[in-house]
Amino acid sequence: MNKIILGVACLALTVNVSAQTMRETIGKHFLIGAAVSTRNIYSQDPKVKSAIVNNFNAIVPENCMKGEAIHPEENRYSWDDADATVKYAEDNHMTVTGHCLVWHSQAPRWMFKDSEGKTVTREVLIDRLYHHITNVVGRYKGRIKGWDVVNEAFEDDGSYRKTQYYNIIGPEYFELAFKFAHEADPNAELYYNDYSMSKPAKRDAVCRLVRDLKAKGCRIDAVGMQSHNGTDYPNLNDYEASIDSFAACGVKVMMTELDINMLPSPQHFGGADISQRFKYDKTLNPYVNGLTKSAQKLFNERYLAFFKIYAKHKDQISRVTLWGVSDADSWLNGWPVPGRTNYSLLIDRQYNVKPVVKDIIKLFK
C-alpha cells in the first residue's frame, strides 16, 4: 500500500512540476511580464490569450500609451486601446505598468510647437507636460501599479540627452514630471527607464538622478534596465554591477524590456535607439527557417545566464518583463533592419513556451 501511495505522490509531484508556468513560479519572487501590442489584446486566437495569461502576471502596453498615440492633439486624447489594455489586465488579474510619460521618441508631435510652428516657451511646455501627465495618470488612478515617468533621457556617456524637454525646460523637467505624476496618483509607483544601463557612465548618471530626485522630495520607486540584450552584450559583470548600484540608491530594479537579439548587427552596437535603421541584406537574416542547433544552444545559454542573475538578485528585483509576447510580435523582426526573422523571446511563433523555460523555472523553485 505504501508503495502505491509513494508512486501516486511522485506522479502528482511530477505532473505538478512539469505543468508549472513562469507566472506560478517566478511570479512568486517578482512580477514576470510581457509587453503587449493592441494586436495581442484584441486577438481572438485562444493560443495568444493563454500564452499571455498563463505565463505572465504583469503586462505593459508596447505602444498605445505613448504620447503620440494617447494624446495625438493638444485637446484630443485617444483612450480606447489604453482602456482595453488596462481592462484586459484587470480581467486576468495582472499588474499593469504605464509606458511612458516623457520620451523624446513618439512624443506628441504638437507638444513643442505653438500655433505658428514656433518652438514653445518653457512655461508653455511645462503647462503642456502638466496636463499630459495629469490627464493620463489621473485616468488610470488606482488601476496602474506604476509608470515609466521618464524614458531614455541620458546618452551612453552619462550626459543628458538633448531632447526638446531638456532644451526647452532644462534638467528640471525630471523633477517636474515625477511630481506631476505623483500628484495625479499618489499611490502609483514611479520609475526611470533606460537601455544600455550596464555602461558605467550611464549607470552613474542614473544613480545621480535617483539621489537628486529623492533629495528634492520626489517619489521614485525603481529604475528600469530595459535589457535589450544580445548574444555577446552586455558584459554580465557590468550588468550585475548595475543592479547592485541602482539597488544601493534605495530603489528597486526592474528588467523592463528583456529580449535577446539573435541576428547579426549591421555594425556592432548595443542599445535600442529606435532611430537607428539599416538596409535589408539577406546575410543579416540567416535564420529564416529557424535557428541552427548552435544558435539555439547559444539562445538557451544566454537566457539562462540572465535569469541566473535575476534569481541571485531576486530581493533587489521587482519585475522582469519580456519585450513582446512571442517571437512573431518582437520589434526586433523589424529593427534595426526591416523584414527579418528574429528569435528574441521565450515564446515561439506558434505561441508555445520554448523548452529553455523549463530550465529557467527550475532556478526559482
The answer to whether the beta carbons of residues 154 and 103 sit under 8 Å apart is no
Segment contacting ligand G3I by CB under 6 A, of 49-57, 62-70, 155-163, 277-285: 62-70
- Nearer to ligand G3I among residue 201 and residue 274 (C-beta): 274
Select from 84, 236, 274, 291 the one that contacts ligand G3I (CB under 6 A).
Answer: 274
Buried b (16+ CB within 10 A) or exposed e, 63-88: bbbbbbbbbeeeeebebebbeebbeb
Shortest distance in whole angstroms from residue 269 CB to ligand G3I: 13
Select from 81, 185, 189, 257 the one that contacts ligand G3I (CB under 6 A).
Answer: 257
Question: Which residues 6+ apart lie within 8 Å of 104 measured at CB?
Answer: 152, 153, 161, 163, 164, 165
Catalytic residue (one of 68, 152, 172, 175): 152
Number of continuous H segments (helices) and E segments (strands) in the chain: 13, 9
Segment contacting ligand G3I by CB under 6 A, of 61-69, 131-139, 247-255, 349-357: 61-69
Q: Which of residues 305-334 bind ligand G3I (CB under 6 A)?
A: 331
The answer to whether the beta carbons of residues 181 and 188 sit under 8 Å apart is yes
The DSSP bridge partners found for residue 154 are: 160
The answer to whether the beta carbons of residues 118 and 152 sit under 8 Å apart is no
Segment contacting ligand G3I by CB under 6 A, of 22-30, 60-68, 72-80, 114-122: 60-68
Going by C-alpha positions, the residue among 235, 258, 269 that lies closest to residue 337 is: 269
Q: Which of residues 170-189 bind ligand G3I (CB under 6 A)?
A: none
Give how far Cα 231 sits from Cα of 160, 227, 354, Å: 28, 12, 17
Shortest distance in whole angstroms from residue 347 CB to ligand G3I: 16
Active site residue 257: yes
Count CA atoms within 13 Å of residue 87 on its CB side: 9
Longest CA pairwise span in the chain (Å): 87
Select from 21, 78, 106, 300 the one that contacts ligand G3I (CB under 6 A).
Answer: 106
Residue 63 in the binding site for ligand G3I (CB under 6 A):
yes
Residue 86, classed as helix, strand or coil, is: helix
Residue 31, all three cell numbers? 512580477
Select from 22, 62, 85, 137 the one that contacts ligand G3I (CB under 6 A).
Answer: 62
Residue 191 in the binding site for ligand G3I (CB under 6 A):
no
Catalytic residue (one of 24, 155, 257, 301): 257
Please state the length of the chain. Answer: 365
Active site residue 152: yes
Going by C-alpha positions, the residue among 200, 95, 183, 203 that lies closest to residue 192 is: 203
Going by C-alpha positions, the residue among 104, 91, 84, 103 that lies closest to residue 37 is: 84
- Nearer to ligand G3I among residue 64 and residue 169 (C-beta): 64
Shortest distance in whole angstroms from residue 66 CB to ligand G3I: 6
CB closest to ligand G3I, residue no: 331
Select from 272, 317, 325, 346 the one that contacts ligand G3I (CB under 6 A).
Answer: 272
Residue 254 in the binding site for ligand G3I (CB under 6 A):
no
Shortest distance in whole angstroms from residue 314 CB to ligand G3I: 24
Residue 226 in the binding site for ligand G3I (CB under 6 A):
yes
Per CB under 6 A, residues contacting ligand G3I are 62-63, 66, 105-106, 151, 226, 257, 272, 274, 331
Catalytic residues: 152, 257
